[in-house]
Structures are given as C-alpha cells and as structure tokens.
Amino acid sequence: MTQTVGSEIDLSQFVFLPRRSTNVVESHSIPSGVFGRYLYESLRTKINASIEQGGFGGNDSFGLYEIDGSPAGSTPFLQILADQTLEPHGARTGLLAELNDAKVFDATRGKHYVDTRALILRGTKKGNRINLPIFEELAQRVDSLEVPAMVYGLKVEAWSQDKNGYGLRLVPTGEFTVIHDDRFDTKWNEYRFNETDERGLPKSLDKENGNRTWYTNDQQLSRLCLYWNLSVYSDDDNLAYSSDSGRVVSVAR
C-alpha cells in the first residue's frame, strides 16, 4: 500500500493482543479446547440440575452430546440455553445471518449442522402435536402475530406442567423479535438460491438455479437450521431431534 509522507494510516481495523494471550476465543467458531470443555460442563450442569435448583432435571430434549470434551449435538433448545450461558460474557449463539459466514461454512461444510436460536411460526394447525404448548405460549405473548414469521430473543425454562411435550417452554426476553416474511411459506419449498440478505434469508429464490436449497413446510412450528451442505432448513418440526454431527457456533458481540 502506497502512502504519501505525512498521511495517516487507519489502524482501527486491527486488534492487538498481548504476546502471551490465553483463553482467546475466535468469533463465529465451534467451541473446542479449554473453552469447549468449560462450555460443555456448564451446559451439562444446568441441564442435570434439579428443577427446584433452577435446572432442567436431566431433560434430554436439549440433545447435548460430548465429543473430545466439547459440546456436540444441536437443537433449538440447546442453542438457546447456550446463548443464555454465553450472553453475560459478551458472546451469543448464531442467528441465520451470523451463520451465513465464510468461516462458519468452512467449519461445517460436509460435517456439521447448526440450529439457529430462532423458530418459525406458521398459521396452520398441522405438525407435531407436542409443539402445541410452545406455539400457544409464544402466540399469547405476541400482539397481532402474523405468520409465517421468524421469532428470536427467547430463553428456555423448565415446564413441569407440560406432561406430554418437551417439558420446556420458551419465554420472550427483551431482545424478542418477530420478523414476518413470506419466504417461510411452504410455496417456496426446495427453491434454490446463491445470495442472502442482511437477515441471512435467501435472495432471488429460483426453482432451478442456485447452489443452495431453501426448505420450508406447512408445519405450525419448526426449527431453522444451517445444514452441512449449506442448505437452510425450516421444515423440521421435531424440536428435540439431535445427532452427534450437530454443533453450537459462538459469536462475539
């Protein structure tokens, strides 16, 4: 880069770390190493603690696995619990816009899927019946809810009164946001795309052209997930399904 004498070079884009910096966690990364172990232990402790102690009584709907000491598995519940755990320390789990990142793509392509901490609501009565208590709880807390919509800004709580469902409820926080968008309608299922907008949603959906696929359905409530082939799924109404290929992605704030 050529500079004239006396001109100033803008160094504000760089972050300088001490030579012996430790415990540095990169944004848009899958937790691993010491950080991964601490995060896994924190999540496992919260899940296993009794409901009376503010935990979840070992509820398996979170779908948490351990691989090499780090958290694995992915469900919306796990992403939201990890978000609650990370937020006081200046980090979050990802929304779709943050998962549409080259670094995340490199870490997940061909290997992992990652749920967002958002859910999709639609104005139908179809889908997994055990989702109904969560859907009704969310709908009661939203004025003039229009669907289809993406909602985020939730925290997860134990819900012992829900005997036939997940035993969990999702409660809006101060961040609670509702984004109404026709692209979540079932008519766009299996359309293709290359580019995304500022929210990570597909631009210029096309029936035939595009390297990525957008999946929707007509289910009342579904998860929103970046898959290992970089397609985006909003068509899975099993909120508790998890496998050891799932991952959490932490994002600095």
Domain boundaries, the chain: 33-252
What rounded mean pLDDT belongs to the chain?
A: 90
pLDDT band at 1 (very low <50, low <70, confident <90, very high): very low
- pTM of the predicted protein model: 0.89
- Please compute the mean of the pLDDT values over residues 201-223 and round it to a whole number: 96
Query: Tokens representing 32?
Result: 């691993």
User: pLDDT by residue (tens digit) across 5-37?
Assistant: 555 666 566 655 565 556 677 788 999 998 999
Q: What angle do CA 217, 219, 221 make, to 5 degrees?
A: 120
d(CA 53, CA 42): 14
Whole-number percent of the chain with pLDDT over 70: 88
Residues in contact with 45: Cβ distance below 8 Å, sequence separation at least 6, in sequence order? 55
What angle separates helix 33-48 from helix 76-86, to the nearest 10 degrees? Answer: 110
pLDDT band at 211 (very low <50, low <70, confident <90, very high): very high
pLDDT at 139: 77
Whole-number percent of the chain with pLDDT over 90: 74
